[in-house]
Structures are given as structure tokens and as C-alpha cells.
Structure 1
Amino acid sequence: MAAMSSLFQERLHPGPFVILIAVIFGVLLGAILMPLSEIVSIVTALALGILFPVLLFAASPVVEVREDVVAAGPARIEVDVLGEPRILAKSDFAKILGPDIRPLDFRVVRGWISTGVEVPILDPEDPTPALVLSLRRPEDFALALKAAKTKRVREDDSSHTR
């Protein structure tokens, strides 16, 4: 069986400000050791100033649309049970994470990304009403999901006509 191709993929990596904070935090932790040893302090500051941003990048979740499934962090859900995505501008995104929050939604959200999508889950057996995802390119996600759903419908139609 051929590998499923990715129609959309976005790693929710931290922005420059968050990276700067991680570097500063690492350097400050190293500076705490200055009274013990200058060399240990400098080496620790350099190591942690590099390590913390690397860990932030490595721990960043990926949102991906494949031909049959949407992967959002640890979640995998078939495109067949997903509704029409709603693109969330900054103000809409703030509402859905604040006063309009629904506790049962599955969220892959990063505070440094202020736009995203809300995708209803249409499976009546699933207690999760929607996916709420932080995305820098929500329009591309919506197009990819639409393409995946269209492809699945065509495949289902062609398999029924055989």
C-alpha cells in the first residue's frame, strides 16, 4: 500500500519572541551559578540558552491533513467524520478560547499563534464536538481538508460503481 500523501502540514513552532524568552531563561539559569564558578556558569548559560529553544521546537506539535485523516498533535481523526472548517481570525479565536469555550472540544493550541480553525466532529459516537487548532495558515488547512473530503467521496463513489 502506498504511503498517504500530505495535503497540508504545519508545525506549531514558537515564534521569535518565545524563542528569545527561552534563550534568556537558559542564560539566566547559567548566571545563577556565577558565585560557584565562572566557567561552569558560562558553559551552563550557553548550553541551556541553546537547549531550551531546541526543546521548544522538538516539542512543537504538527497539524497535518492527509488523504484520509487529520492529525493534530496526538489525535488522529478520519476526514469522513469532520464537518466544514470555520476559519478563526484573531478575535474569533480569542472568543472560542475564552468566553465561548466548550470544555469537550479537542484543542491543539499555542498561545503565540493567534489564528486557527474550528472543525466540527460529526460522529454521533464521539463526545468531542469539535477540533480547535492554532494555525498560522488556516485557509490552507481548510482547502486541504476540503480536497481530502472530495477525494474520499470520489473514491467511495467509484468503489460503489464497480
Structure 2
Amino acid sequence: MAETTTRYRERLWPSTVMFIITAVFLIPAVTLVLTPIDAAIALPGAITVYAIVFAILAALSPTVRVENGELLGGRAHIPLEMLGEPEHLGRDELRRAIGIELDARAHLVVRGWIREGLRIPNLDDRDPAPYWIITSRRPQALASAIRNG
């Protein structure tokens, strides 16, 4: 079995604040809905609903990796030699890049709770995606891993 060389790995988890805000709004709302039905199940039911939402958010969090000469974003992957120079996108640049400046063919690995990332040109002429945009909490480390592959 071939040895895996991982240069970068990041799971795009929701932030702790997002989990707290979800709990603050979801638990009271579900409790309020369930109380007229049966007050005894209202709070346990609300906590169960929150746990399900928590599990869904965690399960849908993609992983970004640079390993074995490839960039893997979620289920997609591309060889590093097919990538150009990564461009750092701060908060405002990222908003424009995934908003008004977005090319609909671009490959996105974006989570709204992460406020910066990279735009990485795709040099493969046969691939319709002109670039990848990946949000990251550590975009400089990701860019370095892509460069040094």
C-alpha cells in the first residue's frame, strides 16, 4: 500500500459561535412548538432536534487537503501541476469573488462562516472550471502547501 503524504488538511467546520447561535434560537423555538403538544417532551425534543442539526452541519463540512501531489476539496481533486499561483482573498475580495465576479464554471468549496480563502487558477485546458475558490481559516498555509506540493 502506498504511503500518503499529507501537506495540508483542514475540515471546514462551522464555528463555535454558529453552534451556539443555532442552539440559542433552535432550542427555545422547538420547545415553544412542542409545549402545547406535551410539555414533558418539549425540552428533550428540542435538544434532540438540535443534536440532529448539529450532526448534519458536521457531516456536511468538507475537508480540504493537499496530499500526494493533489489538491482535494470535498469530493473533487486536481493535480497540483494543473494549478496556477494561489491568490489570497480577504473578506471583501471573497465576497466579490463568490458574488458579482463569479464565473459560473468555477469550482467552489465555500462555507459562509469562513471569511477568507483562496482563488486558484486551473491551468488544465480540458477542465471547464477556470479556477477554484476555497474558503479556509488558514489560507496562507494552504497556499504554501499548494506551491510546495
Report the TM-score, using the length of structure 1 for normalisation.
0.85
- 1:13 alignment counterpart: 13
Greater helix share, structure number: 1
Structure 1: how far apart are the matches of 2:41 and 2:67? 47
SS at match of 2:128: coil
**Over 6 Å off, 4+ runs:** none
- 2:85 alignment counterpart: 84
**1:58-93 CA-partner distances (Å, limit 9, x unpaired):** 210111111321110121111121111111111211
The alignment status of 1:51 with 2:52, answered yes or no, reads yes
- 2:3 alignment counterpart: 3
- 1:123 alignment counterpart: 124
Identity %: 30
Say how many residue pairs are matched: 148
**1:81-124 CA-partner distances (Å, limit 9, x unpaired):** 11111111112111111221111100011111110001111011
Structure 1: how far apart are the matches of 2:60 and 2:72? 15
Report the TM-score, using the length of structure 2 for normalisation.
0.92
Checking the alignment, whether the CA contact within 8 Å between 1:23 and 1:48 is kept in structure 2 is no
- Cα deviation, residue 18, structure 1: 1.8
Which structure 1 segments of 5+ residues have no match?
149-162
Q: How large is the Cα RMSD of the aligned pairs?
A: 1.4
- 1:61 alignment counterpart: 62
- 1:74 alignment counterpart: 75
Structure 2: how far apart are the matches of 1:24 and 1:93? 28
- Cα deviation, residue 20, structure 1: 2.1
Checking the alignment, whether the CA contact within 8 Å between 1:26 and 1:52 is kept in structure 2 is no
Checking the alignment, whether the CA contact within 8 Å between 1:105 and 1:129 is kept in structure 2 is yes
Tell me the amino acid that sits aligned with residue 46 of structure 2: A
Instruction: Say which one has the larger Rg.
Output: 1
